[in-house]
């Protein structure tokens, strides 16, 4: 049975009987987990096991675990990871170690696709939804650090998801609630796409931005714009990996289409993401969602092949490398310790 080209949210700490029946009947490619799905490691391993018992051993299970304020695995059960901005002036080896440690934590509980790193520009005056989730305002720094983060996750056996392609950094609104319209010129937007160009062949997935770029398509946001996906993401950026939407239930896409899943897939996305976890919403999405294409299946396999076998790393050594580098930075510019861990 070819799966539906969807990644879906779930309601709680275990699959309900109704959710299990829906997954069997309308099989999606995978699932994404949120704080409502997470209590402690044993529970999380049981939940990811239940999902794969139905969807298959290689069903991707996603998590937003960037570090900083975007984290689903939190203290006291898991350690706190620093935000991307903490690494702006750090050596790449420290960030790679941090990402490998983060990926290892996720893989230990069955989460194999990590929605990070953020490759958006951190620009003054932009909406704070990105902020310290981004490494820098310098595209070259973002590309260099983004590559280290991707390599670290892959070394832990996790698949990275670079986001939010082709760039959310200029947005003056939060796409969770409304559609941002970016008025920057094509020349200015070259800076936004540069980090994504640098990582286009890295093996990472990419997540779309629910942003309308007037210079590229004055009518449609990137997620459902054939022009942006074909000409910019697949064309100018050169990204040929797995392209997944951001959450279709976000406010930015409200009223954009009566069938957002079909619109996004027709525009050129490989997978759609739907995160509410409400059974009725999920059932409605899966009832009409197209199935995975052969090309998308090839891209999924290629991304998995770019990761290393998960076989248990040296967490203490990774942590020591990261903490030493960040500690040296803090000594130069004192502030909150970004490496604090639960006791």
* Cβ(224)–Cβ(260) below 8 Å: yes
Of the candidates 87, 203, 198, 109, which has an alpha carbon nearest to the alpha carbon of residue 154? 203
**Both structure tokens of 163:** 């986001």
* 246 counts as catalytic: yes
**Gap between the Cα atoms of 104 and 189, Å rounded:** 35
Of the candidates 338, 317, 343, which has an alpha carbon nearest to the alpha carbon of residue 327? 338
**Both structure tokens of 67:** 């570090």
* 337 counts as catalytic: no
**Both structure tokens of 103:** 């990926």
**Both structure tokens of 246:** 């951001």
* Cβ(248)–Cβ(274) below 8 Å: yes
Catalytic option among 53, 176, 188, 337: 176
- 206 phi/psi in degrees, rounded to 5: -135, 145
**Both structure tokens of 77:** 């059960």
Catalytic option among 192, 246, 247, 270: 246
Q: How far is CA 83 from the centre of its chain?
A: 15
Residues noted as catalytic: 176, 246
């Amino acid at each position: 049975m070819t799966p539906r080209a969807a990644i879906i949210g779930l309601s709680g700490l275990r699959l309900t009987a109704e959710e299990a029946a829906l997954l069997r009947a309308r099989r999606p490619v995978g699932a994404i987990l949120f704080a409502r799905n997470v209590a402690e490691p044993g529970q999380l391993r049981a939940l990811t096991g239940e999902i794969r018992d139905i969807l298959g051993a290689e069903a991707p299970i996603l998590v937003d675990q960037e570090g900083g304020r975007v984290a689903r695995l939190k203290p006291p059960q898991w350690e706190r990871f620093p935000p991307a901005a903490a690494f702006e002036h750090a050596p790449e080896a420290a960030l790679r170690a941090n990402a490998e440690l983060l990926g290892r934590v996720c893989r230990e509980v069955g989460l194999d696709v990590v929605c990070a790193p953020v490759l958006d520009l951190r620009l003054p005056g932009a909406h704070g939804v990105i902020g310290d989730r981004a490494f820098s305002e310098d595209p070259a720094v973002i590309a260099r650090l983004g590559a280290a983060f991707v390599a670290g996750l892959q070394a832990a056996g996790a698949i990275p998801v670079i986001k939010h392609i082709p760039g959310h950094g200029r947005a003056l609104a939060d796409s969770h609630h409304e559609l941002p319209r970016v008025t920057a010129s094509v020349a200015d937007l070259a800076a936004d796409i540069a980090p994504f160009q640098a990582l286009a062949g890295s093996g990472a997935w990419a997540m779309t931005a629910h942003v309308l770029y007037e210079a590229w398509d004055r009518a449609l946001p990137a997620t459902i714009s054939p022009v942006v996906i074909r000409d910019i993401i697949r064309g100018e950026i050169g990204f040929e990996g797995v392209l997944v939407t951001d959450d279709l239930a976000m406010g930015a896409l409200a009223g954009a289409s009566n069938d957002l899943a079909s619109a996004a897939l027709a525009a050129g996305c490989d997978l759609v993401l739907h995160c509410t976890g409400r059974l009725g919403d999920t059932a409605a999405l899966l009832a009409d969602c197209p199935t995975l294409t052969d090309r998308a299946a090839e891209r999924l396999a290629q991304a998995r092949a770019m990761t290393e076998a998960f076989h248990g790393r040296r967490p203490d050594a990774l942590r020591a490398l990261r903490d030493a580098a960040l500690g040296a930075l803090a000594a130069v510019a004192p502030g909150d310790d970004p490496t604090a861990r639960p006791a």
